[in-house]
């Protein structure tokens, strides 16, 4: 792999994403975003969505709330015959400020890492287009 292959998605967590009291978004939502990032990475590399095989490690590091903006980033770190090792990081880039009022929010000059993960995906040889 000559050049680094990366993907970044930025999404706003909505009220429907809040799963717990206080508008807290469940950590599984970050894993869902990592799956979307992995799909884009595989399309960039192989021209196919491939399959997610396993997460080696997932860490939830900070809370996420409805109204926060999350930037999910991933990169391919190793390419095998059909396997692709990846790393992921979800960062809060805008935080809601319900302590001020219902619509207040702060753009964070220093994003807050809310989750990290590593995993392996596979693109079957028959499905590779690149």
Please report, for the chain, the start and end positions of each structural domain, with discontinuous segments joined by +.
6-127
Indicate the DSSP class of residue 13: P
Q: How far apart are CA 109 and CA 121, in angstroms?
A: 33
Q: What is the pLDDT of residue 19?
A: 86
Question: Which pTM value belongs to this model?
Answer: 0.93
Q: What is the pLDDT tens value at each position of the chain, 130 positions in all?
A: 568 999 999 999 999 999 899 999 999 999 999 999 999 999 999 999 999 999 999 999 999 999 999 999 999 999 999 999 999 999 999 999 999 998 999 999 999 999 999 999 999 888 888 8
Map tokens 């990290």 to a residue: 116
Runs of H (alpha helix) within 21-118: 28-46
Task: Report the distance separating Cα 105 and Cα 36, nearest Å.
Answer: 26
- Domain 6-127, CATH 3.40.190.10 — does that match? no
The pLDDT of residue 2 = 66
Using an 8 Å Cβ cutoff, are 69 and 79 in contact? no
Query: 99, 36 in Cβ contact below 8 A?
Result: no
DSSP annotation of 65 reads B
Closest CA to 13 of 59, 63, 66, 52: 66
Residue 1's pLDDT is what? 58
Q: Report the Cα–Cα distance between both ends of the chain, in Å, rounded.
A: 13
């Amino acid at each position: 792999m000559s050049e680094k292959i990366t993907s970044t998605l930025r999404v706003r967590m909505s009220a429907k994403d809040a799963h717990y009291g206080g508008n807290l978004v469940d950590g599984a939502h970050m894993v869902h975003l990592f799956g979307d990032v992995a799909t884009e990475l595989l399309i960039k590399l192989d021209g196919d969505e491939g399959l997610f095989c396993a997460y080696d490690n997932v860490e939830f590091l900070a809370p996420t709330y409805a109204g926060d903006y999350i930037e999910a980033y991933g990169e391919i770190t190793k390419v095998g015959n059909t396997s692709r090792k990846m790393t992921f990081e979800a960062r809060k880039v805008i935080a809601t400020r319900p302590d001020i009022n219902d619509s207040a929010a702060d753009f964070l000059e220093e994003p807050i890492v809310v989750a990290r993960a590593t995993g392996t995906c596979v693109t079957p040889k028959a499905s590779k287009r690149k």
